[in-house]
Amino acid sequence: MVQSLRQESGDVVEKSSPICSGLALRCADWQVLSGLSRRKRQESELKVKTLISWLASDGGSNGLQEALIPGIFLLISSFSQKYPPVKFLSEKDRKRILVRSVFVGSHLTDKVMMDGHEVTVVDNFFTGRKRNVEHWISHENFELINHDGVEPLYIEVDQIYHLASPASPPNYMYNPIKTLKTNTIGTLNMLDPEVHPQNEEYWGHVNPIGPRACYDEGKRVAETMCHAYLKQEGVEVRVARIFNTFGSRMHMNDGRVVSNFILQALQGEALTVPGEETGAMQTISIYLSLSRDLVNGLVSLMNSNISSPVNLVSLSVTLESKHYNVSRSQIQFLPEGQDDPQRRRPDIRKAKMMLGWEPVVSLEEGLNKTIQYFSWELEHQANNQYIPKPKAAHQKKGQPRQHN
């Protein structure tokens, strides 16, 4: 098998080596291995050591050895770094932080772990994936608990980031009762101690019995409970309103606009747009939260004394088909979802003035990183979302079974 081995100079050397089969070793890009699972890293480490033995024997020419060995030592040094670098904090400065969710929560975990705090991640893995935080497992400051937030969890912490609700329409519509319980009972368990532009006072269109209600009403009740516990019990609360978060580690089948567009483009499919075609130009307004920006905003909000809601949104993007090389045949218009917000214009002036927070990651950078992640997922044929088949309808005793 011919493997392409990249030198630091950027040139490519080709060499037949059955020993390297299954692994395209790119020495200049050794950092990619830090994103692999522990098992894959161990497999890669073994193959690198085997390659070194082969190079040390008659199998490797002097020129090939000179080209590869510097990069191989970089790879070996990366294997010895078991965890990302963590800042040392004294006991009095180190916080015990509980994080619920492993998409946004995984990026948040990276930040607060590297800042030197102790982190406990709690998730039932209904939509989350363990591998998003796998790189911290066994670290002395990290703990992962498989637990459903609907059930009480008795643990002593300094801060709680409750980010556990399914935000993907396919997920929260698949199990609306679970979504409602997560937003309400899950929030209650956390709290209990045993208009355009739209500012934080805008509450939006309300339909308490529509298909989105399990999510929308659950969020509204959660905010109400936070405010009630603040007033009655003096519980410190922080409320962040976030919009269409995207980035690496998100589900490809998330069902929202960014993941849909990227996945459809990578697979050569038509881009699906909600709404009817109204002429030669279709305009779509999207409000996005990039995961890296959002994490910084969440940490700033947590460490503030602001108990009222704060909008955290990174970008306002208007997509017009006339600005892109997209023909009508490449766009498929779908019926709009019932009760979907027709227009959003979240105002982030409060976050800017009171937190000193504003987004710094460009749309291009955020999309590129997400596209790279999706490409990697597709390449490895990862199953990013498991939706079990609906259970058969319960058959009453004595009732004959119907046959089609």
In sequence order, what DSSP letters do the residues of 136-181 get, joined into one string?
A: GTT-TTEEEEE--TTS------SEEEE--S--SHHHHHHSHHHHHH
pLDDT band at 315 (very low <50, low <70, confident <90, very high): low
**Residues for the chain: how many in total?**
404
User: Could you tell me the two tokens for 168?
Assistant: 């993907």
CB contact set of 404 (below 8 Å; sequence gap of 6+)? none
Burial classification of residue 320, based on how many CB atoms lie within 10 Å of its CB (0-12 exposed, 13-18 middle, 19 or more buried)? exposed
- Confidence label for 322 from pLDDT (cuts 50, 70 and 90): very low
Please, which pLDDT band fits residue 21 given cuts at 50, 70 and 90?
A: very low
What's phi and psi for 287, nearest 5 deg? -115, 125
Position 179 scores a pLDDT of: 80
List C-alpha distances in Å: 57 to 49, 65, 269.
13, 10, 49
Are the CB atoms for 293 and 308 separated by under 8 Å? Answer: no
Please count the other Cβ atoms lying within 10 Å of the Cβ belonging to residue 192. Answer: 12
In whole angstroms, what is the distance from residue 54 CA to residue 25 CA? 14
The residue ranges of DSSP E strands in 223-282, in sequence order, are: 240-242, 245-246, 271-274
pLDDT level of residue 216 (50, 70, 90 thresholds): confident
190 pLDDT exceeds 80? Answer: yes
285 phi/psi in degrees, rounded to 5: -100, 130
What pLDDT is attached to residue 48? 64
Domain boundaries of the chain, sorted by first residue: 2-80, 165-379
Average pLDDT, the chain: 71
Give the tens place of pLDDT for each residue, 53-79.
666 665 555 555 555 655 555 555 555
Across 87-96, 212-221, 346-355, least confident range: 212-221
Q: Between these two residues, 194 and 224, which has the higher pLDDT value?
A: 224
Task: Provide the pLDDT for residue 24.
Answer: 37
Burial class (CB in 10 A: 0-12, 13-18, 19+), 293: buried
Helices and strands counted in the chain (H then E): 10, 13
CA angle, residues 133, 135, 136, in degrees to nearest 5: 75
Cα 217 to Cα 214, 227, 321, 326, 377: the distances in Å are: 6, 15, 34, 37, 33
Packing angle between helix 291-302 and helix 104-114, nearest 10 degrees?
A: 60
pLDDT at 260 over 70: yes
Sign of the Cα pseudo-torsion (371, 248, 166, 314, in order): negative
268-285 average pLDDT score: 62
Rounded Cα distance between 125 and 223, Å, is 24
Give mean pLDDT, residues 374-389. Answer: 63
Helix axes 62-80, 38-56, angle to 10 degrees: 150
Looking at residue 13, its pLDDT comes to 37
The mean per-residue pLDDT over the stretch 318-325 comes to 48
What pLDDT is attached to residue 156? 85
- How much is the pLDDT for 22? 35
What pLDDT does 104 receive?
86
What pLDDT is stored for residue 72 in this prediction?
59
Q: Residue 265: what pLDDT?
A: 86
Q: Which of 40-49, 71-80, 107-116, 199-208 has the highest mean pLDDT?
A: 107-116
**Per-residue pLDDT, 98:** 92
50-54, 294-298, 339-343, range with the lowest pLDDT? 339-343
What pLDDT shows up at residue 29?
A: 38
**Of the listed ranges 31-35, 209-213, 238-242, the one predicted with least confidence:** 31-35
Q: Residue 197: what pLDDT?
A: 53
β-strands 12-16, 283-290 pairing: unpaired
* Per-residue pLDDT reduced to its tens digit, 99-148: 987 678 899 999 999 999 999 999 888 777 888 899 999 999 999 999 98
Contact between residue 166 and residue 256 where contact means Cβ atoms under 8 Å apart: no
pLDDT attached to residue 143 = 94
Minimal CA–CA distance to 378: which of 367, 370, 366? 370
- Residues with catalytic function: 215
Average pLDDT over residues 301-324: 75
In terms of average pLDDT, the best of 263-272, 298-307, 311-320 is 298-307
Per CATH, the number for 165-379 is 3.40.50.720
**Residue 116: what pLDDT?**
94
- pTM of this structure: 0.56
Residue 279 CA, distance from chain mean position = 35
What band does 51 get if pLDDT is binned at 50, 70 and 90? low
Residues 6+ apart with CB under 8 A from 300: 355, 356, 357
- pLDDT tens digits for 146-178? 998 888 888 888 999 988 777 677 776 777 788
Check if the beta carbon of residue 300 is closer than 8 Å to that of residue 344. Answer: no
Cα–Cα dist 209/216, whole Å: 10
pLDDT of 302: 95
Q: What is the pLDDT of residue 96?
A: 92
Is pLDDT of 238 > 80? yes
